Amino acid sequence: MQFSYNLFLVLHFIGISGLLGGLLAQIPNKPKQLQKLVLHSAWLALLAGLVMVGLNQRMNSNDPTVEVLDHIKISVKFTVVALVLLIGYLSRKKSILSNKAWALMTLLTISNMAIAVFWS
Look at the alpha carbons of 90, 92, 96, 98 in this order and tell me if their dihedral is positive or negative. Answer: positive
Q: Which residues contact 89 (CB under 8 A, 6 or more apart)?
A: 39
CA distance 120 to 115: 9
CATH number for the 2-118 domain, one of 1.20.120, 2.60.40, 3.40.1620, 1.10.10? Answer: 1.20.120
Q: List per-residue pLDDT tens for the chain, 120 residues long.
A: 889 999 999 999 999 999 999 999 999 999 999 999 999 999 999 999 999 999 998 888 788 887 778 899 999 999 999 999 999 999 988 889 999 999 999 999 999 999 999 987
Element (H, E) at 28: none
CA distance 35 to 119: 30
